[in-house]
Amino acid sequence: MKADIILSGVGGQGIVSIAATIAQAALDNNLFIKQSEVHGMSQRGGAVYSHLRISDREIASDLIPLGHADIIISVEPMESLRYLPWLKEDGWLVTNSTPFINIPDYPDLKSLHLEIEKFPNHILINADEIARQVKSPRSSNIVMLGAASPFLEIPIENFEQAIGKIFGRKGEKIVELNIQALHAGREYSLTHQKEKV
Amino acid sequence: MEKLLLLGAEAIAQGAIDGGMSGIYAYPGTPSTEITEYVQNNKIAIERNIHRNWSANEKTAVEAALGMSYAGKRAMACMKHVGLNVAADPFINAAITGVNGGLVITVADDPSMHSSQNEQDSRFYGKFAMIPMLEPSNQQEAYDMAYESFELSEKFKIPVLMRITTRLSHSRSGIKRKEIKSENPLTYPDDPIQFVLLPSNARKRYKGLLGIQSSIEEAAEKSKYNKYIDGKDKSLGIIACGIAFNYLMENYPENNCPHPILKIGQYPMPYSLLDKIVNECDKILVLEDGYPFVEEQIKGYFDKSGKITGRLNGAIPRDGELNPDIVGKALGKEVKQFFKIPEIVKNRPPELCSGCAHRDIYTALNETMKEFGKQKVFSDIGCYTLGALPPWNAINSCVDMGASITMAKGAADAGVRPSVAVIGDSTFTHSGMTALLDCVYENTPVTIIIADNATTAMTGGQTSPATGRLEQICIGLGVKPEHVRVLTPLPKFHEEMIKVIREELLYEGVSVIIPRRECIQTATRSKKEQRVKAEEVTQ
Ligand code: SF4
């Protein structure tokens, strides 16, 4: 088993918690992990990404080579496209459809969605809306994790446990809400994936 | 034991704690900040009361760590590469005084300048100081090396430099821990005069340092971190330092590299192993993150044969960090790339948080500066440096910590009126206070804006020794109290800010303006923490 994952978004959107959750779940599965992330100045509303690699064999590099990523998980539509040079030919693009607009020349949203829909292997999901539906508006990043989960060979229970470990300090209720967000994202992805096949 | 999932920086911290460290001294700086932060939150560190507060700057950090070592305890100082320039004085001299308890100086270099002004390579400093250096290739080695580094330092009675890079510092992996060592007891140096670097004594100590060079070389030759991995195809030999080893192995997923590899993790360079690989192989490719440190030394000035390749002949780009693709290309491998970035994707540079006080300061400053002309605002390093970008374009320099005030002074000496410096509260304590003293000494006409957000915001909100005392410090250094002006940077006080800034810009002497409002990131965080605490109490 081996998965090379690129997580992308804008500084402050919570990609670090997605990465931490996947990494924790992978660790609980006795997998090897390497996860590199961006700290410092670029976090102030700039484009950020994380390379996350999990495997049942020891992993050499902290960085994914170009053209090797199995999946790009993005919490923002434009940022999903910035890392395409890393994506495998048949890799998956799983992205939130809600934009984060903090630049004057942000592209037209329709054209952006069209660009994403060009990929046969894509999931375009309104994670913000789904997070609101499960009454956890701040969990859109975990909705994204749920949407990506069918493409990662890690049992869903492990993600639930990992959420428990990572959000446990914030209380039972937060854990519960995030697990609901996880499942809502997963459901969406499973139904839409089937539609395509 | 369960594996811990740690960043490279955190692995160093855990290794140092488990290795019996009694104190860590540091000034925050990306990519080194997380080492100290980890120690601050670690259970064992708290129980043992390991010293873990921030220092005013990197120089004070190294000096304090040296003091702790003088007393027999194990100490670490941490900083980013440019911080080592600030600490260069005690760093070089600590190699001459030697140490009592183990002293480790951990420096995180930033090739590709993800968050820095330059890419300098700390290994040159290590060689300059003639001390042993450790350079981990992965998180486990980072842990193991930190754990063992104090012993290495105590064995040779000199400091050890631990060098990491951004990529390793900010990448996470599973770590196996070792048994926890106890701290050293208080002891004094054997030779009471060892730490007195009077010339007569320093000469003796320096000879001693030179005298042990061959043994620290020998230690590097024998180190388990320097490995010769043989290969059949001797048409090429590969020297891989630190994390470069991983990028190399990424190109050989089955561990089937046909060429001999020399993996370097401990310096001074293992010369006999280098001899072996250079003699055995027709060509040599040197892979190292940072400067061509090893390459230059083995190439020598007169070798024009082209046998040795790397950053110097363009086989590897001269600047920027390494990655598996750059290494693959140098090995003649094809890089597969299926998709390009579509044109629709726009740049998204970092920016000041919405609601940040610096926005209000720059809006007011820009409006006032319209009356006085352009290119007269010198800035420093911190979140406010983002004022250099649109929409503000408010500042005209950012060189090193503290340079804003001294550059403004030099410009004022040259006749620039008004000459303005923008500096943060933490940067001011780091290197601005002495600069202000220079201005006071000559009553130089400068206006210094200390943007006080009560924290070291850019690195994530660390505390600063100046918090709550900036006016006192400035007055104490000799600024006239009527020219120390405190403001609240909020849109509703816009006109008042302009009025005060204008008055001080017109004053022919030293004035300090302190716009004060807490960083909204730390303010929100502390509010949240209070709420969680309150909930815990009521439950
Ligand atoms: S982190 Fe604080 S100081 Fe920095 S931009 Fe945000 S609000 Fe301003």
Distance from CA of B385 to the nearest CA of A (A): 10
Q: Is the pLDDT of residue B494 over 90?
A: yes
Among A79, A82, A76, A87, which residue's Cα sits nearest to residue A5? A87
pLDDT of residue B539: 52
Fold assignment, B4-222: Rossmann fold (3.40.50)
CA dihedral B263, B268, B271, B273 (to 10 degrees): -20
Is A89 near chain B, with CB under 8 Å? yes
Residue A90 burial by CB count (10 A; 0-12/13-18/19+): exposed, middle or buried? exposed
Mutation site for B-interface testing, chosen from A2, A15, A32, A39 by largest number of B Cβ within 10 Å? A39
A-chain CB neighbours of B31 within 8 Å are: 39-40
Structure tokens at B171: 């990448």
> Which ranges in B266-396 belong to alpha helices (H)?
271-280, 293-299, 324-330, 357-369
Instruction: Answer whether B495's CB lies under 8 Å from B482's CB.
Output: no
Q: Is the pLDDT of residue B446 over 80?
A: yes
Per the DSSP assignment, residues forming a β-bridge with A51 are A6, A36
Q: Is B383 in the pocket of ligand 1 (CB under 6 A)?
A: yes
Q: Is B79 in the pocket of ligand 1 (CB under 6 A)?
A: no
Mutation site for B-interface testing, chosen from A63, A114, A117 by largest number of B Cβ within 10 Å? A63
Q: Is the pLDDT of residue B532 over 90?
A: no
Q: Is the pLDDT of residue A195 over 80?
A: no
Residues 457-516 of B with CB under 8 A from A: 458-460
CA–centroid distance, A46 to ligand 1, in Å, is 13
Over residues B412-423, the mean pLDDT reads 96
CA–centroid distance, B535 to ligand 1, in Å, is 27
Q: Is the pLDDT of residue B229 over 90?
A: yes
Instruction: Judge: A103–B348 Cβ closer than 8 Å, yes or no.
Output: yes
Q: Is the peptide bond before B28 cis (omega within 30 degrees of 0)?
A: no
Over residues B227-231, the mean pLDDT reads 96
Nearest residue (by CA) to ligand 1, atom 6, is: B353
Q: Is the pLDDT of residue A168 over 90?
A: no
Q: Is the pLDDT of residue A42 over 70?
A: no
pLDDT of residue B396: 94
CA separation for the pair B92, B108 (Å, rounded): 18
- Sequence-distant (6+) residues with CB within 8 A of A156 are A149, A182, A183, A186
- Percent of chain B past pLDDT 70, that is, above it, reads 99
| HEC sequence for B42-87 | CHHHHHHCCECCECCCHHHHHHHHHHHHHCCCEEEEEEEHHHHHHC
Nearest residue (by CA) to ligand 1, atom 4, is: B383
CA dihedral B345, B351, B356, B360 (to 10 degrees): -110
Nearest to B172 among A33, A45, A47 (CB): A33
In chain A, the residue whose alpha carbon lies closest to the alpha carbon of B344 is A107
Assign domain B357-523 to its CATH architecture.
Answer: 3-Layer(aba) Sandwich (3.40)
Is A110 near chain B, with CB under 8 Å? no
Q: What is the pLDDT of residues B12-42, one digit of tens each?
A: 999 999 999 999 999 999 999 999 999 999 9
Sign of the CA dihedral running A164, A169, A171, A174: negative
Interhelix angle A156-167/A140-148, nearest 10 degrees: 160
Among B22, B32, B31, B85, which residue's Cα sits nearest to residue B59? B85
Mutation site for A-interface testing, chosen from B34, B109, B138, B348 by largest number of A Cβ within 10 Å? B348
Q: Is the pLDDT of residue B468 over 80?
A: yes
Q: What is the pLDDT of residues B469-493, one digit of tens each?
A: 999 999 999 999 999 999 999 999 9
pLDDT band at B528 (very low <50, low <70, confident <90, very high): confident
Ligand 1, atom nearest to B358 Cα: 8
Over residues B228-240, the mean pLDDT reads 97
Over residues A77-102, the mean pLDDT reads 96
Number of CB pairs, chain A paired with chain B, less than 8 A apart: 153
Q: Please state which of the ranges A41-55, B60-74, B126-140, B385-399 shows the lowest mean pLDDT.
A: A41-55
Over residues B216-231, the mean pLDDT reads 96
pLDDT band at A57 (very low <50, low <70, confident <90, very high): very high
Q: Please state which of the ranges A143-152, B90-99, B183-192, B303-312 shows the lowest mean pLDDT.
A: B303-312
pLDDT band at B1 (very low <50, low <70, confident <90, very high): low
Q: Is B428 left (phi over 0), alpha (psi -120 to 50) or beta?
A: alpha
Over residues B128-155, the mean pLDDT reads 98
Nearest to B348 among A10, A85, A115 (CB): A10
CA separation for the pair B234, B285 (Å, rounded): 12
Q: Is B520 in the pocket of ligand 1 (CB under 6 A)?
A: yes
CA–centroid distance, B360 to ligand 1, in Å, is 12
Q: Is the pLDDT of residue A196 over 60?
A: no
Among B208, B206, B209, which residue's Cα sits nearest to residue B198? B206
CA–centroid distance, B457 to ligand 1, in Å, is 6
Q: Is the pLDDT of residue B304 over 80?
A: no
Among B294, B270, B289, which residue's Cα sits nearest to residue B81? B289
Is A40 near chain B, with CB under 8 Å? yes
Instruction: Judge: B353–A45 Cβ closer than 8 Å, yes or no.
Output: yes
Among B528, B525, B450, which residue's Cα sits nearest to residue B489? B450
CA–centroid distance, A104 to ligand 1, in Å, is 20
- Sequence-distant (6+) residues with CB within 8 A of A54 are A1, A2, A3, A5, A22, A23, A26, A31, A32, A33, A152, A154
Helix%, strand%, coil% for chain A, nearest 5: 50, 20, 30
Q: Is B457 in the pocket of ligand 1 (CB under 6 A)?
A: yes
Sketch out chain A's domains with CATH numbers: 2-195 (3.40.920.10)
What's the angle, vertex CA B15, arms to CA B7 and CA B77, rounded to 5?
90
Over residues B304-308, the mean pLDDT reads 83
Q: Is the pLDDT of residue B526 over 80?
A: yes
Q: Which residue has the tokens 């007169």?
A: B302
Strand-pair category, B377-379 with A2-10: unpaired
The domains spanning B4-222 and B357-523 adopt the same CATH topology: yes
Instruction: Judge: A65–B328 Cβ closer than 8 Å, yes or no.
Output: yes
CA–centroid distance, B353 to ligand 1, in Å, is 5
pLDDT of residue B466: 86
Instruction: Judge: A24–B5 Cβ closer than 8 Å, yes or no.
Output: yes
A-chain CB neighbours of B342 within 8 Å are: 81, 84, 115
Q: Is the pLDDT of residue B301 over 80?
A: no
Fold assignment, B227-331: Rossmann fold (3.40.50)
Q: Is the peptide bond before B90 cis (omega within 30 degrees of 0)?
A: no
Over residues A150-162, the mean pLDDT reads 94
Among B11, B366, B402, which residue's Cα sits nearest to residue B176? B11
Among B32, B85, B118, which residue's Cα sits nearest to residue B456? B32
Per the DSSP assignment, residues forming a β-bridge with A71 are A5, A92
**Average pLDDT in chain B:** 94
| Domain-wise residue ranges, chain B | 4-222, 227-331, 357-523
CA separation for the pair B245, B263 (Å, rounded): 7
CA separation for the pair A148, A81 (Å, rounded): 16
CA separation for the pair A86, A99 (Å, rounded): 22
Instruction: Judge: B246–A111 Cβ closer than 8 Å, yes or no.
Output: no
Structure tokens at B45: 């560190």
Over residues B281-306, the mean pLDDT reads 89
B-chain CB neighbours of A69 within 8 Å are: none
Per the DSSP assignment, residues forming a β-bridge with B512 are B448, B484
pLDDT of residue B533: 73
